Amino acid sequence: MVTHELVRHRIGSYSQRSQRYVKENQAEFITPPEIAEEDSAKLALFNQAMESAWDSYRKLLEAGIKPEIARYVLPNACATEIICTWNFRELRHILKLRTAPSAQPEMRVVANLIQEILKKEAPKIFGDL
């Protein structure tokens, strides 16, 4: 879900691992902390949904369906990789929005990590954040 939040910022360049051209070989998904910290019944339900989606994906591939079509059954919780390129002005704007208390919790964690790195590596530009 974090990648969906990141690419909303138009002033930037993004390179993300493609589910269209890259077959997903392993069931890698992110469990939201709100579910991971809940009772085991909710976590079991979430894990069951993830496994069902991955099982369907594998079966579609085995049936000869192209990865770009089979990926429709994959959940938003899929782990992915992304490279983002922004200018300093846009990055400051992104950090202001994404570290705010109203930001999605998962996005806030990532934005805070980015902010701490930038404050250390470029204090003249990001030290006031």
Catalytically active residues, by annotation: 98
Closest listed residue to residue 19, CA positions, set 71, 61, 54:
71
Please provide the size of the chain in residues.
129
Instruction: Mark residue 62 as left, alpha or beta (left: phi above 0; alpha: psi -120 to 50; beta: remaining).
Output: alpha
CB 61 within 8 A of CB 70: yes
Give the N- to C-terminal CA distance of the chain in Å, as an integer: 24
Per residue, what are the HEC states of 19-57?
CCCCCCCCCCECCCHHHHCCCHHHHHHHHHHHHHHHHHH
Tokens of 116: 């701490």
